[in-house]
Chains A and B, each alone.
Chain A
Amino acid sequence: MRLEKREAPSAAMLWVAPLLAAAASVLLTGLLFAALRVNPLAALRLLYIDPLANANGVAELALKMTPLLLCALGIAIGGRANVWNIGAEGQFTMGAVAGGGIALVLGPGGGWYVLPLVLAGGIAGGMAWAAIPAALRVGANAHEILTTLMLNYVAQDILSWLVHGPWRDPQGFNFPQSKTFADAATLPTLWGTRLTPIFFVALLAAPCAWLLLQHTSAGYRLRVAGLAPAAARYAGFSASGTVWLSLLISGGLAGLAGIAEVSGPIGQLLPTVSPGYGYAAIIVAFLGRLEPFGIVVASALMALLYLGADGLQMHLQLPLSLTGTLQGMLLFLLLAADVLVANRIVWRRAP
C-alpha cells in the first residue's frame, strides 16, 4: 500500500475527509473510554446523544455554538487571505473586557441604549486587540501567528488584573469577580432557556461571510491574496489592506463572541471568561474547510463535544481535560485524513 499524488485535488474527498475524521474520532474515543475502564457505549451515548435529549439541551448546544461559530468565521476569512489569526481567544477576552467595562461604568439604570453600547464596545475591543498584530505585521513584518498567540496571554493577564483589582466587586466576599451587570446591559434570553439572540446573529454571520468572500470585490482580493500573493501584487491589491481587513473582521467577530458570553450566560467578568473557545474555533474553522457553511456544521459538532464532556465529567467523574483531548484528536485525524485530498491510496504488491 502506498500513496500516489492525484492529478488534481479531489473535490469529493475535500468533504469526505472531515466525515472520515469524525468517524475515526468516535472509534478512537470509544477505545479511550475502554482504556479508562468505562463502558464505551454508555460513555459515547453520554457524549454525543444525551446532550440533545431535550429542548433545553438543544438551547445549550446553540449557546455553546455561538462563540465557536463567530470566532471560526473570523479565522476562516483570515485563513482564506493567508492571514492566520491564532488570537481569537485574546480578542474574545478583550471584547468581554471592553464591553463589560462599559456595562460596569454605566452601572444600574440607563435605558435601551446601554445594550447596543455594550455590544459595540465588545466588537471594538476585539478589533482593537487584533489591530495590534495587524500594525505589527504591516509595519514591522512580525508574523501574525506569533503575535496573535502571544497577545492571548496578555489579554488574559489584563482581565485577571482587572477582576483582582480595580473592577473587583466590593460586596463579592473578596472573590476575584466584577459586579453582575445591570439588566439593561444584559442580553435577553429566549424561551426560558439561557439562549440569547446573538445565536441568530452568529447564524446570520455565516451567509454574510460567504457573501463577502464569494460575491464582493473585497472578498475576491482577500482570496487572491491568500492563493497567490504575487498575483495580488501584480493586480495592485494592497497587501497591508488585506492584513488589516481580515484581522479587523476576525477580531470584531471574536470580540462580539466575548461580550455575548459575559453579558449573556455569565453576567459578569470572571478571571477566565472562555473555556478555550478561541482555540477550539481554529479546529472548527479547519473542520469546516474555511467555508462558512461548513463551519456552521463544524461548530455544532464542537459544541456537542463541549456539552458531552461536561456530562462525562458529571456522570462518570472523568477529568475535564478530556475535552481538550477529544478536540485535539479530531484536529489531528482531520489533518491525517486531508492527505487523501491530494493523494490516493494505491494497493499493490511490492516490486
Chain B
Amino acid sequence: MPDSPPPPPQAATPLLAVIGLSKRFGAVMANADVALSVMKGEIHALLGENGAGKSTLVKMIYGLVEPDGGRIEWEGREVRIPDPNAARALGIGMVFQHFSQFETLTVAENIALGLGGREMPDALAPRIRETAARYGLAVDPNRHVFHLSVGERQRVEILRCLMQAPQLLILDEPTSVLTPQEAQSLFTVLRRLAAEGCAILYIGHKLEEIRTLCHTATVLRAGRVAGTCDPRLVSPMELATMMVGSELVQPRRRTHKPGRVVLTVNDLTLEPGDAHGIPLQGVRFELRAGEILGIAGVAGNGQKELLAALSGERLSRPSAIRLGAEAIGALGPVARRRAGLGFIPEERLGRGAVAELSLAENSMLTRLASPVVAGGLVRRGAARALAKRLIERFKVRAAGVGASAGSLSGGNMQKFIVGRELDARPLVLLAAHPTWGVDVGATIAIRQALLDLAAAGAGIVVVSEDLAELFEIADRIAVLSSGRLGEAVALSQLTLEAVGLQMTGHATAECLDAA
C-alpha cells in the first residue's frame, strides 16, 4: 500500500465517546446499545449495510435525532446535543451524502449562509481562499454553484465545515460521487486534517477505501455493533462478512461469447432537456447479444440524457437507435419495451416504483399488458401472481405482495425492480447505477442476476459511477465525458487508473481521434 495512514496520536480520553446509545423508530430498533469512541486525530470508519443504523448514529451525534437511551461524552464530559447548532458549537462538522446547496448562489454566498448568514460573502472570500489553499481544496469562492461538478460541490461542503475549525468531521459516503482521482485528493485532505488533530468519522461502503484510509473501523449490523477492528489488518472479505453476518458468495463470471448486434446507437445528438443539462454529441456504440457494456463517467456528464434517450423518455431520430434491425429512436418507452428493451432506472422510489402503491401494483408499472391487463381491466390476481413470483425468484424480503413499496429497504426494493425488468425477458437491458446505495448482499445478488441475463443471451448496458462494479461485471467499458462517449475498450486492455483519468476528461481527445 503506497500511502498507508500515519498512526494516530494517542491520548488518554477519547474526543467523542458514545456509550449504550439506543434509538427506536416504531417497531425497528435503529440503534441498540451502540458504543463507539473516537480519538483526536483518528480516522474512524463506520461500516455497515444499508439500514444497519449508521445514519441514525451520526444523526444522533450531530443533534438531528434525539436518542432514546445511552449517553454521549465529549472530551470526557457528558453532553446533550439537542440540535445541529449545539453540535457545531462543540466543534462537530458534518458533510452529508445528499447535501443541498443554492445552485444560483456563489460558493462564498453558500458558505456564508451555512455559517448562519452573519458574515457577508465578500468579507468571507479571502478566508475561504486561505482555508482552501491550506488544505489543497481548489475552490473559487466567486463561482456559481451550478457551474460546479458534484466533486467540487462536495469540496464546498467540506470547506464550509473547515471554516468553523471543527474537532470532529463526519462524512457520509463522500466518495460515492467522486472519480478515483478526486477520491484520492479527498483522502489527502482528510489525512492532513487528521495529522493536525482533527478526528474524522467516515461512513463508507467501499472496503478497499477504508482499508487505505482509516485507523479503526466500527461495523454495525442491524443496529448493533458487530465488531471493531483495525481495517488495515483484516481482509475485505472478513470486513464484508462482519457486515453481513454470513459468508458471502461472490458473483461468478460467465464465459463471454458475443453474438449478433442487438443495439446500435449511431450519431446520437441531443440538446439538453433543462438549462443545466449536458448535450449529447455524436454518441455511437454497438452492443452484442451476451455482452455487458459498462458506461463509466462522473455524474453530470450526460448520463441522465443518454439514459433518457435510450429508454425513450426523450425521442430522437428514428435511425439513431436500433434494437436489432428496428429503428426505435422515435418510439416512446411503451413501444420500446414491447420491442424488447428493459430499463432499471437510477432512482428507486418515485421512479422505478411508487412508494405508496403495493408490490402487486408496482409489479405492473412496466408490465401493463397481457396477462395483467385484459380488455382495459386490471386482473388483480395476475398482478399478485407476478409480484409473488418476483418476490420468490429474487428473494425480496417483504411482508407480502400487499406491502407498500415504501416499506421495503433500498436493497430489497432494487431487487424487486431488477427482478421485474429481468422477468420481462428483455433483448436489451439498460441498468442505471444498479447497485447504488444497496447493501453488500443485495449488490451481489443483483450483479449475479445481470451476469445470468447476459449469459442467457441478452445485451446489457450498465451506466455506473462505481468503477469497481464495472470492472467486475462489464466486458467492455466506454467513458462518457461532457456528453461525448469514448470508444468502448475490452476489459483486458484497461486499468482502473486509465478509466479514472478519462473520467476527468483528460483523454477525451484521444478517444475521439480513435473513434
Decide if B378 is an interface residue (CB 8 Å cutoff): yes
A227 lies within 8 A of B352 (CB): no
User: Given B337, B354, B378, which contacts A228 in the complex, CB threshold below 8 Å?
Assistant: B354
A interface footprint on B327-370 (CB within 8 Å = 1, 0 otherwise): 00000111111000001010101111111110001001110100
- The answer to whether A216 and B378 touch (CB under 8 A), given A227-B354, A231-B351, is yes
Asked if A201 is at the interface of the complex by the 8 Å CB criterion, the answer is no
Residue A236 at the chain B interface, CB threshold 8 Å: yes
Give B362's nearest chain A residue, CB to CB.
Answer: A231
Question: What are the interface flags for B25-59 relative to A under an 8 Å C-beta threshold, 1 for contact and 0 otherwise?
Answer: 11000000000000000000000000000000000
From residue B159, how far is it (CB to closest CB) to chain A in Å?
32
Whether B311 contacts A231 by the Cβ 8 Å rule is no
Which residues of the partner chain A approach B336 to less than 8 Å between Cβ atoms?
236
Q: What CA separation (Å) do A228 and B355 show in the bound complex?
A: 8
Q: Is the CB of B356 within 8 A of A235?
A: no
Does chain B have a CB within 8 A of A220?
A: yes
Chain A residues numbered 2-17 whose CB sits less than 8 Å from any CB in chain B = 7-8
Give the residue name and chain of the A residue nearest to B82 (CB): A351
Identify the interface centre among A216, A224, A230, A231: most chain B CB within 10 Å of its CB: A231
Number of CB contacts from chain A to chain B under 8 A = 69
- How far, in angstroms, from A215 to B373 measured CA to CA in the complex? 10
CB-contacts of A226-262 with B (<8 A): 227-228, 230-231, 233-236, 238
Of the candidates A216, A223, A236, which one forms a contact with B332 in the assembled complex, judged by CB atoms under 8 Å apart? A236
- Contact: A231 with B337, CB < 8 Å? no
Closest residue of chain A to B313, judged by CB?
A233
A234 engages B345 (CB within 8 Å) = yes
Instruction: Decide yes or no: A234 and B352 within 8 Å by CB, A220-B361, A220-B364, A224-B365 being known contacts.
Output: yes
What residues on B are CB-neighbors of A221 within 8 Å?
A: 368
Contacts of A223 in B (CB 8 A): 357
Query: Is A171 part of the binding interface, using a Cβ–Cβ cutoff of 8 Å?
Result: no
Interface size in chain B (residues, C-beta < 8 A) = 35
Residue contact B376 to A217, C-beta cutoff 8 Å: yes
- CB of B377 within 8 A of CB of A216, answer yes
B166 within 8 A of A: no
Given contacts A217-B373, A231-B365, contact A236 B312 (CB under 8 A): yes
A8, A224, A236: residue with the most chain B Cβ atoms closer than 10 Å: A236
Which of chain B's residues have a CB closer than 8 A to the CB of A231? Answer: 350-354, 365
B343 and A234 contacting across the interface, CB-CB below 8 Å: yes
Q: Are A217 and B378 in contact (CB under 8 A)?
A: yes
Interchain CB contact under 8 A, B368 and A217: yes
A220 to B357, CA, bound (A): 10
Contacts of A230 in B (CB 8 A): 347, 350-351
Instruction: Return the chain B residue nearest A238 by Cβ.
Output: B332
| A-B contacts, 29 listed (Cβ < 8 Å) | A7-B26, A8-B407, A215-B378, A215-B380, A216-B376, A216-B377, A216-B378, A217-B376, A217-B378, A220-B361, A221-B368, A223-B357, A228-B349, A228-B350, A228-B351, A228-B354, A228-B355, A230-B351, A231-B351, A233-B333, A233-B351, A234-B351, A234-B352, A234-B365, A236-B312, A236-B313, A236-B333, A236-B335, A236-B336
In addition to A228-B351, A234-B313, A236-B335, 10 A-B residue pairs with Cβ atoms within 8 Å of each other are: A8-B407, A215-B380, A220-B368, A220-B378, A221-B368, A227-B357, A234-B333, A236-B333, A236-B336, A236-B337
